[in-house]
Chains A and B, each alone.
Chain A
């Protein structure tokens, strides 16, 4: 290669690099346009999500990108990096660790079960589990409210915690919420949505839109 070809290549490369960085930096946060959303079909529900949110397993999804075939469980998370996520969990309403609970319901159909209290109990347990998790440093529940999503009443708790870093300057506050709603007499659904506090205002709209499009399927798999 002649020297001018070499010179042209590196100058063009440098210009392209600068232009790309400039375009990426402006703007930084934005709600995806409708054309950038897609419908995702999970085993038990369907949801519309931004294309740039990657579906994954709730255990390892935020760390590794797995193919969709690997999503064998009912619980699914949608991630944008490690710090931003929208997770859907299905949990039994009754405490399955205590068999007496199930026996009571099966043998005594006349027993009045306070489903609202049970839902609240499951919600409290979920919040307590987050508080006890050592990776959720300085976890605190900011507020709790009763909300209705597409006609379904549920409990929503906004929370905040800190992702620690060995250099304290880079400790990152994370803002999120847990939404719990009753699915049936046997089951509740938990929604976790979280992102860095600095970008919460932008992502809250994304989370609300995702939550508004979540549609449960019937036993056969159809919505």
Chain B
């Protein structure tokens, strides 16, 4: 049995998932008319993501061709009836047997293995860009907007609440939009969001909320073996850094004091900002193009 990395189900066919009908290696839909080979070998314990070769044509009677195993080099001389070249990077793919007699059974249509470079690009599209590229894409929007917000705060500090609300909504929306974090998916995400909102309303400011949530989720992960919501922690980290910068601006222009930032107790302002942040996160997850 091979576990499909696209749908998570166990499949007897190691090349194409029986459940989601995708090619295991590339995630592309299986070619039309594909039938699992009866002589499919037992699945290999691990399959590299860069290997993408669905089973080739059925074996020719009397000349059983070895299954186009994953990453396996054909053990014998190449047979003329082989319809696909397994994984030769330099070998041009062969689509079909050109010289088949007219009475011979028609071969099953097959797909050709994409070259390794293409496989890597497909893999990155599905799995996301490398972290540093996603981070750069996130910062390319967030940093210029932060500079604009600092300008607004320094000139009109009494607009701080509205200006920050807009900024944090955009930040929350763009963080999943840039694929830096995941979206709000399940009940656990909503539970964690509610927990942070309660912390922000009744307990403490952004730094305190981040530290308390991180400690609480870490302890729960140790005791109950639950997952740590890294998306939420990443979002809170970005929120805290931005709040430090914006509050520092208000402190520098004598509009606020350090004590206002390191708050302990009830605060509507922090609550509204967190609501805008999570609202943006929710909205960004809904409109994100996967």
A residues engaging B (CB < 8 A)? 1, 3, 5-7, 9-10, 12-14, 16-17, 20-21, 24-25, 28-29, 54, 65, 80-84, 163, 165-167, 170-172, 196, 199
* Candidates A14, A16, A172; contact of B259 at CB < 8 Å: A172
B residues 113-153 near A (Cβ < 8 Å) are: 133, 136-137, 139-147, 150-151
* Cα–Cα, bound, A14→B248 (Å): 16
Cβ contacts A to B, 21 pairs, < 8 Å: A9-B143, A10-B136, A13-B143, A13-B145, A16-B147, A17-B143, A17-B147, A21-B248, A21-B252, A24-B252, A24-B253, A65-B159, A80-B254, A81-B256, A83-B257, A163-B259, A165-B264, A170-B257, A170-B258, A171-B259, A172-B257
* Cα–Cα, bound, A9→B254 (Å): 30
* Cα–Cα, bound, A7→B264 (Å): 39
Interface string of B254-272 (1 = CB under 8 A from A): 1111111010110000000
* Cα–Cα, bound, A80→B254 (Å): 7
Please tell me if the beta carbons of B141 and A9 are within 8 angstroms of each other in the complex: yes
* Cα–Cα, bound, A5→B140 (Å): 9
Query: Do A82 and B147 form a contact, CB below 8 Å, given A9-B141, A10-B136, A166-B265?
Result: no
Specify which chain B residues have a CB less than 8 angstroms from the CB of A10 in the assembled complex: 136, 139-140, 142-144
Please tell me if the beta carbons of A82 and B137 are within 8 angstroms of each other in the complex: no
* Candidates B133, B255, B264; contact of A167 at CB < 8 Å: B264
Of all A-B residue pairs in the complex, the 5 with the closest CB atoms, nearest first, are A13-B143, A13-B144, A10-B139, A16-B147, A9-B140
Please tell me if the beta carbons of A21 and B150 are within 8 angstroms of each other in the complex: yes
| Distance of A90 from chain B, by nearest CB (Å) | 25
* Cα–Cα, bound, A167→B264 (Å): 8
B189 interface residue (CB < 8 Å to A): no
B250 interface residue (CB < 8 Å to A): yes
| Distance of A207 from chain B, by nearest CB (Å) | 14
Please tell me if the beta carbons of B136 and A170 are within 8 angstroms of each other in the complex: no
| Distance of B147 from chain A, by nearest CB (Å) | 4
| Shortest Cβ distance from B139 into A: residue | A10
Query: Do A16 and B144 form a contact, CB below 8 Å, given A83-B257, A84-B254, A166-B264?
Result: yes
* Candidates B139, B147, B255; contact of A80 at CB < 8 Å: B255
Query: Do A6 and B259 form a contact, CB below 8 Å, given A17-B147, A20-B154?
Result: no
Interface string of B183-195 (1 = CB under 8 A from A): 0000000000000
| Distance of B102 from chain A, by nearest CB (Å) | 53
B residues engaging A (CB < 8 A)? 133, 136-137, 139-147, 150-151, 154, 157-159, 245, 248-250, 252-260, 262, 264-265
| Distance of A220 from chain B, by nearest CB (Å) | 32
Please tell me if the beta carbons of B136 and A7 are within 8 angstroms of each other in the complex: yes
Query: Do A13 and B146 form a contact, CB below 8 Å, given A80-B255, A81-B157, A170-B262?
Result: yes
* Cα–Cα, bound, A188→B151 (Å): 42
| Distance of A13 from chain B, by nearest CB (Å) | 3
Most chain A C-beta atoms within 10 Å of own C-beta, residue among B140, B262, B264 = B140
Specify which chain B residues have a CB less than 8 angstroms from the CB of A170 in the assembled complex: 257-259, 262
| Distance of B184 from chain A, by nearest CB (Å) | 26
| Distance of B113 from chain A, by nearest CB (Å) | 29
Specify which chain A residues have a CB less than 8 angstroms from the CB of B141 in the assembled complex: 9
| Distance of B152 from chain A, by nearest CB (Å) | 11
| Distance of B261 from chain A, by nearest CB (Å) | 9
Please tell me if the beta carbons of B136 and A20 are within 8 angstroms of each other in the complex: no
* Cα–Cα, bound, A20→B149 (Å): 11
Please tell me if the beta carbons of A20 and B157 are within 8 angstroms of each other in the complex: no
Specify which chain A residues have a CB less than 8 angstroms from the CB of B146 in the assembled complex: 13, 17
Specify which chain B residues have a CB less than 8 angstroms from the CB of A21 in the assembled complex: 150, 245, 248-249, 252
Please tell me if the beta carbons of A6 and B137 are within 8 angstroms of each other in the complex: yes
* Cα–Cα, bound, A12→B142 (Å): 11
Please tell me if the beta carbons of B140 and A20 are within 8 angstroms of each other in the complex: no
Specify which chain B residues have a CB less than 8 angstroms from the CB of A14 in the assembled complex: 139, 143
Please tell me if the beta carbons of A17 and B259 are within 8 angstroms of each other in the complex: no
Specify which chain A residues have a CB less than 8 angstroms from the CB of B252 in the assembled complex: 21, 24-25, 28
Specify which chain B residues have a CB less than 8 angstroms from the CB of A196 in the assembled complex: 257
* Cα–Cα, bound, A171→B256 (Å): 13
Specify which chain B residues have a CB less than 8 angstroms from the CB of A12 in the assembled complex: 144
* Candidates A13, A29, A54, A84; contact of B139 at CB < 8 Å: A13
Contacts A81-B255, A82-B256, A170-B262 known; 6 new A-B pairs at CB < 8 A: A7-B136, A13-B142, A20-B147, A20-B150, A83-B257, A163-B259
